[in-house]
Amino acid sequence: MLTSAQWTAVWDGTLITLEITAFAIVVGCLLGVVLALGRLSKHRILRALSWFYIWFFRGTPLLLQLFMVYYAIPIIYLESTGSQLNIDPMVCAFITFSLNTTAYLAEIIRAGIESIPGGQMEAAKAIGMTYGQAMRKIIIPQTYKRLIAPVGNELVMLLKDTSLVSSIALSDLLRTTKTMANASGNWLYYLYAAAIYLFLTTLLQLGTDRLEIKLGAYEKR
Amino acid sequence: MVKVEDVHKQFGDLQVLKGINFEVNPKEVVCIIGPSGSGKSTMLRCINRLERITSGKIYVEDELTENRMNGKTVEKIDPQKLANLCLDIGMVFQNFNLFPHLTVLENVTIGPTVVKKENAKITEEHAMELLEKVGMADRKDEYPARLSGGQQQRVAIARALAMNPKVMLFDEPTSALDPELVGEVLQTMKELAQEGMTMIIVTHEIGFAREVADRVIFMDDGVICEEGRPQDILLNPKEDRTKEFLNKIL
C-alpha cells in the first residue's frame, strides 16, 4: 500500500494530468471551430493558413512540439534579445497540448459540419440568416451529437498523451509513480498509475456515451 | 412583385437557363410546369439568390436585386437593402429542410428571433397563429423526425410565413411526399392563395395548377415555351412540346 505522503504525490500528479487535459480540450474545441471554418472558407488565404496549421501540428510528434516550446523558444529568445526567458513547464504543457489538440479537433469539426445536408444552410438563408447566424444556430448545433464519439476519442488520447510532460520536468501521474518505482525497485507502483488512468478513461467513456444519447434525442422517431 | 429579365444560368458548360423573361404581379399565383431538367427549380432558386445567375436582371418589388453579365456583377446593390428585399421572399423546399434539432414551434420562431430580433412573446404568438393555420398547433413541441412528410411540409410553410414574406416560392413542395399526404399540403397552399399571397410554384400537380393558378408557365430546356391562363395552357396548348409533356403526365 501507498503511504499517505505517496497518496498525496499521486493525487497531485493526477491533478496535473487532469488540468492539462481539461485546459487543452476546452481551448482545442474553441480554436478548432475557428480553424474548421477557416478550412471551409471561400477565402484562399484563410483556407491555406488553416491547412498549414493542421499540416504542421498533426505532422510532427507531440513530444517534439513540447521540446520546441520548452527548450527551443527560451534559446531563441536568449539569442535574439540577450535576456533569459523562464517559462513555467506547466504553461508550456498548456500551450503545446492546446495547439496540438486544436489541429485534430479542427479536422473532426470540419467533417462534422460537412456532414450536415446542404439544404439546412439553404433553408437558413431562405429565412434571411447570415452565414454566421446559420452556423451558430443551425449548422453547428446539429454537429454536436455527431462530434461526441470522435471528440471522446481525442479526449481519451489526450488524457494518456499528457504523460509526455514527464519529459519536461512536470510531475504528472506517470512520472510520480515512476519515481516511486525507481526509488523502491518495485514495479507494482505502475499498477496504481494504470488503475487511475483506466478509472479516468472509463468515466470519460461512460460520460460521452450518455451525452451522445441525450444530444441525439431529437432524432428519435 | 418579381420581374426576371433575360436570365441566363450556366453550370460549367451546361446552359440551364437560356434567356428567361417573366413578371409576377402582386397577389398572382403562377405555376411553373415542365419536364425534369428544364430549369424550373434553378429559376426559382435564382430569385432568392440561392443560385447566382450568369447574366440578366432580377427585380423584387420593382427594386433591382441582381444585374449580372457573364458571371460578374454589373451593378452592386447595397447589401442592407438586398437583405431586406430577400426577407420579402419566402421559400418552401422539396425536402422540407426543417431544422431537426428544433421543435416545431422553434422552427417557426427562429427566423424572427434571430434575423429580426423580435420580441420572444410576440414571435411566439404569431408562430402559434401560423401553426394553427397550417393545422399543426397541437404538435408544437414535437421534433420534425416524429412528423409525417406532409406535416413537416406544413410546418415548413409556417416557418417561411413567420418572416411575413410578400412572395412565396414553392420548389416542388409535394414531390417528396407519399401520395396520400399530397392533399393536405396542397390544401394549405390553396388557402394561402385565397388569402392573396403572391406565389410562384414549381409543381407537377397539374390538377392543382388548373384549380389555383392565375397563370401557368411551361418551361422546357431552359426556355419558357408557352405561358397563359391555366385553361388555355393545360387544356388547349399551342406548342407541340407542351402537348407532348401534358400527354405524358396526364
Task: For B201-229, write each residue's pLDDT tens digit.
Answer: 999 999 999 999 999 999 999 999 999 99
DSSP state for residue B68 in the 8-state scheme: E
CA separation for the pair B17, B38 (Å, rounded)? 8
Domains delineated in chain A: 18-170 (1.10.3720.10)
Answer whether residue A172 shows pLDDT above 80.
yes
pLDDT score, position B248 = 87
Distance from CA of B25 to the nearest CA of A (A): 21
CA separation for the pair B22, A106 (Å, rounded)? 46
pLDDT score, position A85 = 81
**ipTM at complex level:** 0.91
Q: What letter represents residue A42's amino acid? A: K
Query: Does A128 sit within 8 Å of B83, measured CB to CB?
Result: yes
First to last CA, chain B: 32
- Please tell me whether residue B215 adopts helix, strand or coil conformation: strand
> Using 50, 70 and 90 to split pLDDT, how confident is the model at A161?
very high
Query: Does B100 sit within 8 Å of A219, measured CB to CB?
Result: yes
> Which neighbouring-strand residues pair with B89?
B167
Please state, as a whole number, how many other Cβ atoms lie within 10 Å of the Cβ of residue B99: 23
pLDDT score, position B189 = 94
Q: Considering chain B, what percentage of its residues have pLDDT values greater than 90?
A: 83
Q: List the 29-48 stretch of B: residues with Cβ below 8 A of A.
A: 48
CA separation for the pair A11, A25 (Å, rounded)? 21
Q: B223-228 and B215-220 as β-strands: parallel, antiparallel, unpaired? A: antiparallel
Q: What is the pLDDT of residues A42-90, one digit of tens each?
A: 999 999 999 999 999 999 999 999 999 999 888 888 888 888 888 889 9
pLDDT score, position B134 = 93
Q: What is the pLDDT of residues B119-161, one digit of tens each?
A: 989 999 999 999 999 999 999 999 999 999 999 999 999 999 9
Strands, DSSP E only, in chain B?
A: 2-11, 14-24, 29-33, 55-60, 63-69, 72-73, 89-92, 167-171, 198-202, 215-220, 223-228
Please state, as a whole number, how many other Cβ atoms lie within 10 Å of the Cβ of residue A17: 25
Interface test with B, best of A42, A125, A127, A147 (most B CBs within 10 A): A127
The residues, any chain, with a CB within 8 Å of residue A58's CB and separated by 6 or more, are A103, A104, A107
Q: What is the pLDDT of residues A104-120, one digit of tens each?
A: 999 999 999 999 999 99
Q: Is the dihedral of CA A118, A121, A124, A125 positive or negative?
A: negative
Judge contact between B26 and B61, C-beta under 8 A.
no
pLDDT score, position A83 = 84
pLDDT score, position B147 = 94
Query: Does B146 sit within 8 Å of A221, measured CB to CB?
Result: yes
**Residue of B170, B137, B128 whose CA lies nearest to B153:** B170
Query: Does A120 sit within 8 Å of B99, measured CB to CB?
Result: yes
Rounded to the nearest angstrom, the gap between the alpha carbon of residue B28 and the centroid of all alpha carbons in its chain is 13
DSSP state for residue A82 in the 8-state scheme: S
pLDDT score, position B20 = 93
> Which neighbouring-strand residues pair with B171?
B202
CA separation for the pair B136, B23 (Å, rounded)? 33
CA separation for the pair A36, A111 (Å, rounded)? 9
What are the chain A neighbours of B162 within 8 Å (beta carbons)? 127
Query: Does A137 sit within 8 Å of B110, measured CB to CB?
Result: yes
Query: Does B114 sit within 8 Å of A133, measured CB to CB?
Result: yes
CA separation for the pair A203, A217 (Å, rounded)? 22
The residues, any chain, with a CB within 8 Å of residue A212's CB and separated by 6 or more, are A145, A148, A149
Q: What is the pLDDT of residues B61-92, one digit of tens each?
A: 989 999 999 988 888 888 888 888 889 999 99
Query: Does this model's pTM top 0.95?
Result: no
Average pLDDT of chain A is 93
Please state, as a whole number, how many other Cβ atoms lie within 10 Å of the Cβ of residue B206: 18
Query: Does A122 sit within 8 Å of B93, measured CB to CB?
Result: yes
A182-186, B6-10, B164-168 — which is least confidently predicted?
A182-186
pLDDT score, position B185 = 93
- Please tell me whether residue A175 adopts helix, strand or coil conformation: helix
> Using 50, 70 and 90 to split pLDDT, how confident is the model at B165?
very high
Report how many Cβ contacts below 8 Å link chain A to chain B. Answer: 66
Average pLDDT of chain B is 93
Q: Which residue's C-alpha cell is 431544422?
A: B99
What are the chain A neighbours of B90 within 8 Å (beta carbons)? 126-127
Which residue among B95, B143, B160 sits closest to A127, beta carbon to beta carbon?
B160
Q: List the 122-181 stretch of A: residues with Cβ below 8 A of B.
A: 122-129, 133, 137-138, 141-142
B47, containing H or E segment: helix B40-47
Interface test with A, best of B80, B94, B99, B200 (most A CBs within 10 A): B99
Q: What is the pLDDT of residues B95-128, one digit of tens each?
A: 999 999 999 999 999 999 999 998 989 999 999 9
Which residue among B89, B93, B159 sits closest to A119, beta carbon to beta carbon?
B93
* CB proximity B110 to A under 8 Å: yes
Q: Is B156 exposed, middle or buried (0-12, 13-18, 19+ CB in 10 A)?
A: buried
